[in-house]
């Protein structure tokens, strides 16, 4: 019995020791694992290192359709600038034009297919008028949507700019350079997914690629079409040129933007009473008049019978 116990303990210890040695010896180092991930033979064949996301099949279809639309040079420049201000790339212009063309043809086709043909009124003047109206709506709807998206993005950038400036001020006062401060601000989790943080990240990447910081920031301001961002870039360039205190300039500019934002809120609140006048006159006052005068009218009716 004693021999069996000693043998069992020996085998258990030997197996445990062998297992630990195998795990330790077979474990790859962190550097080795990262190097193996960078090797070409370990890279999946379907993974492509691209800076631009691949188009979906529907986007590729719209792109092919948009190739048939040839807008003028002025319209091309306008649409491209609005697409960039909305957060898209200039390469999305054929997709946008394809969307306009598809809606221009699809809406009238749906009217004719589901209404005019079953009713036998294809040549009806009223149906032709509705077809023309739907074609115009289909052509203008993407432009209206794009303008609304640009307005929303500009508003979001304007409302985020003071908070970005506060964080930049803290970084500059802590002794961080303006380039590193811009990168650190854009990578802050608080501004994840924010359009201004994304634009700052793009400007920082352009500066690291060799572009002058002032030109990168000016291009960022031109892309977003936000006047307050342009004034911020001008202030930053002048502070660097004349050697003034950058932290003080950032703090003053942030305070002025907050004052402007508060004034805009007060202006919107002051307009509320005027905007509520029309719903009150159209919907509320008639109901009040019916409630207040209705019983008296019924009484007078009973009296004069």
d(C-alpha 141, C-alpha 78), whole Å: 16
Per-residue pLDDT, 44: 42
**Which tokens in the block code for residue 174?**
């802590």
Angle at alpha carbon of residue 17, lines to 11 and 18, rounded to 5°: 85
In the chain, what are the domain boundaries?
A: 57-152, 155-262
Per-residue pLDDT, 123: 78
- What torsion, rounded to 10 degrees, do the Cα atoms 68, 69, 70, 72 define? 180
**Residue ranges in the chain modelled with pLDDT below 50:** 1, 4, 9, 28, 30, 41-52
Per-residue pLDDT, 142: 92
Residue 161, judged by CB atoms within 10 A of its CB (0-12, 13-18, 19+), counts as: buried
- What torsion, rounded to 10 degrees, do the Cα atoms 274, 278, 280, 281 define? 130
The alpha helices in the chain, defined as continuous H runs, are 2-26, 30-38, 57-66, 73-85, 93-111, 117-119, 125-173, 178-186, 195-208, 213-224, 227-242, 246-279, 285-303
| Domain 155-262 fold | Receptor-associated Protein (1.20.81)
Per-residue pLDDT, 46: 40
The residue whose two tokens read 């342009």 is 230
The residue whose two tokens read 């400007």 is 203
d(C-alpha 289, C-alpha 27), whole Å: 85
**Which tokens in the block code for residue 60?**
């590729």
Residues 6+ apart with CB under 8 A from 185: 164, 167, 168, 171, 191, 197, 200
| Buried/exposed 253-275: b ≥16 CB within 10 Å, e otherwise | bbeebeeeeeeeeeeeeeeeeee
For the stretch 236-284, pLDDT in tens is 888 888 887 888 888 888 888 889 889 988 998 888 888 888 888 888 8
């Amino acid at each position: 019995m004693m021999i069996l116990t000693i043998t069992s303990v020996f085998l258990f210890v030997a197996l445990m020791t062998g297992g630990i040695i195998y795990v330790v010896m077979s474990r790859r180092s962190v550097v080795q694992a990262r190097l193996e991930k960078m090797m070409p033979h370990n890279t999946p064949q379907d993974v492509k290192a691209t800076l631009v996301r691949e188009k979906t099949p529907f986007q590729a279809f719209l792109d092919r359709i948009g190739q048939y639309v040839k807008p003028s040079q002025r319209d091309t420049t306008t649409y491209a600038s609005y697409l960039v201000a909305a957060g898209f790339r200039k390469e999305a212009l054929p997709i946008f034009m394809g969307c306009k063309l598809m809606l221009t043809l699809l809406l009238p086709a749906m009217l004719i297919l589901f209404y005019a043909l079953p009713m036998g009124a294809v040549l009806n003047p009223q149906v032709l008028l509705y077809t023309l109206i739907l074609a115009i709506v289909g052509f203008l709807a993407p432009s209206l949507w794009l303008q609304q998206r640009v307005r929303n993005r500009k508003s979001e950038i304007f409302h985020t700019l003071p908070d970005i400036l506060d964080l930049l001020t803290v970084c500059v006062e802590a002794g961080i350079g303006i380039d590193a401060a811009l990168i650190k601000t854009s990578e802050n989790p608080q501004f994840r997914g924010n359009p201004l943080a994304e634009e700052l990240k793009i400007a920082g990447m352009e500066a690291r690629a060799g572009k002058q910081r002032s030109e990168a920031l000016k291009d960022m301001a031109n892309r977003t079409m936000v006047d307050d961002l342009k004034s911020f870039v001008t202030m930053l360039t002048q502070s660097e040129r004349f050697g003034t205190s950058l932290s003080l300039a950032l703090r003053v500019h942030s305070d002025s933007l907050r004052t402007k934002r508060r004034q805009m809120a007060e202006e919107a609140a002051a307009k509320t009473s005027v905007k509520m006048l029309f719903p009150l006159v159209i919907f509320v006052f008639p109901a009040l008049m019916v409630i207040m005068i209705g019983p008296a009218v019924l009484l007078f009716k009973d009296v004069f019978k």
